[in-house]
Amino acid sequence: MYQEYNEQEKEDLTRYSDLINRFVENGLTILIEKINDKTNLRKDYASYFLFRQIIEAGDAISELIKIGCINACKPLLRTLFESYFQLNFLFKENQDRKSLQLLYHNEIRKRDYYENLAYPNKGGSFYQRLKNDKHLNGMDLGKDQKEIYIDNIRKINETINDPDYEEIKKEYGRIETAKTKVSGKNYKVKYWYELFDGPKNAEGIMITLKETALYEFIYRDCSAYSHGEDLVHPNLEPNDESTFGISSLRDIRQLVVIANNAILLIERCCLLFLQNKVAEPKKYADNFFPIVTKAQEYRKEM
């Protein structure tokens, strides 16, 4: 059963969806112009990839809000949040080095993935993990498919051996060696931002950025829902003074909170990107100013 909306509720869904979409469209215009810039260097692409992810998450949230799927926005809002804090941390200082950290770490993670597919005898491989799967026990990939993954591994090794990554590669090895000695277990770097004594997790980044309120009030709430833990209270609605029932699908009671949090994050991401990656941000001010003003008006409704 789907929730039915009155005219005011329909109008609210549309206006929140449209505002997020306006940020998305303007952000996408800027991103396309930057990607097509012939002066781009390797270190530029880390912020481009993060900003693209932000734009895509915002676009998806806009579409879900339009049809009233508010609770389903929470996992995407969590993705938007994680991308925001990484982008913010990237721009704080040592931007060039941090960009290479992110790119190098992504290559390493992808190489591990391909190795687990291509080499059956490797610890933690695809083949070994499936030994305990009741549906795919004993399944393995064909030789031709493995050759494709092995070729991908070769290309990644060529990429990470580039002189640009020499400092990052040494730091990667230093951390893994040191932590393996301490724990007695084979340690692998989990996050690109933990290199060079950086934060160890999402909460650590928000402490570094002095934005712990976002972590406590947005990230934790969205994480609980994403992990299937916050199931009861968001899905209950009162029938009368003494009984409750399960709410209909497309329940919009949390519309204002979820939509405004999404708007807040995508607004900050767009402004960060403008300030740090666009030579003449004033060029886009006329487009962004009315959207930011409208976002501030919406937040007053919370």
What tens digit of pLDDT does each residue of 210-268 get? 999 988 888 888 988 888 887 777 788 887 888 888 888 999 999 999 999 999 999 99
Tell whether 189 is covered by a domain: yes
Q: What is the pLDDT of residue 184?
A: 86
Residues 28, 45: Cα–Cα separation, whole Å: 15
Q: What is the pLDDT of residue 180?
A: 92
Question: Pick from 120, 181, 186, 190: which is nearest to 149 by CA?
Answer: 120
Whether residue 275 is predicted with pLDDT greater than 70 in this model: the reply is yes
Give the pLDDT confidence of 135-171 residue by residue, as tens digits: 888 788 899 999 999 999 999 999 999 999 999 999 9
Tell whether 73 is covered by a domain: yes
User: Please, are residues 97 and 167 in contact by the beta-carbon 8 Å criterion?
Assistant: yes
User: Please, are residues 46 and 193 in contact by the beta-carbon 8 Å criterion?
Assistant: no
Residues 280, 246: Cα–Cα separation, whole Å: 52
Alpha carbons within 13 A on the beta-carbon side of 254: 21
Q: Report the number of distinct structural domains present in the chain.
A: 1
Tell whether 199 is covered by a domain: yes
Whether the predicted model's global pTM rises above the 0.75 cut: yes
User: Please, are residues 205 and 85 in contact by the beta-carbon 8 Å criterion?
Assistant: yes
Whether residue 302 is predicted with pLDDT greater than 70 in this model: the reply is no
Q: What is the pLDDT of residue 4?
A: 92
Q: What is the pLDDT of residue 54?
A: 98
Token pair 């928000």 is at which residue? 206
Tell whether 15 is covered by a domain: yes
Whether residue 108 is predicted with pLDDT greater than 90 in this model: the reply is yes
As a whole-number percent, the residues of the chain with pLDDT over 70 amount to 100
Whether residue 109 is predicted with pLDDT greater than 80 in this model: the reply is yes
φ/ψ bin of 80: left (φ > 0), alpha (ψ from -120 to 50), beta (otherwise): alpha
When the pLDDT of each residue in the chain is averaged and rounded to a whole number, the result is 92
**Enclosing domain of residue 248:** 7-299
Mean pLDDT of 17-30: 96
Q: Is 191 exposed, middle or buried (0-12, 13-18, 19+ CB in 10 A)?
A: middle
Q: What is the pLDDT of residue 39?
A: 84
Q: Which helix (H) or strand (E) holds 51?
A: helix 45-67
Mean pLDDT of 55-71: 97
Residues 222, 224: Cα–Cα separation, whole Å: 6
Residues 72, 58: Cα–Cα separation, whole Å: 13
For 244, the 3-state DSSP assignment is strand
Residues 82, 215: Cα–Cα separation, whole Å: 10
Higher-confidence position of 209 and 127: 209
Read off the amino acid at residue 56. Answer: E
User: Please, are residues 221 and 135 in contact by the beta-carbon 8 Å criterion?
Assistant: no
Q: What is the pLDDT of residue 128?
A: 87
Give the pLDDT confidence of 176-211 residue by residue, as tens digits: 999 899 888 888 999 999 999 999 999 999 999 999
Mean pLDDT of 274-288: 89
Tell whether 143 is covered by a domain: yes
User: Please, are residues 58 and 262 in contact by the beta-carbon 8 Å criterion?
Assistant: yes
* 40-44, 106-110, 125-129 — most confident range: 106-110
Tell whether 59 is covered by a domain: yes
Mean pLDDT of 19-40: 93
Tell whether 1 is covered by a domain: no
Tell whether 41 is covered by a domain: yes
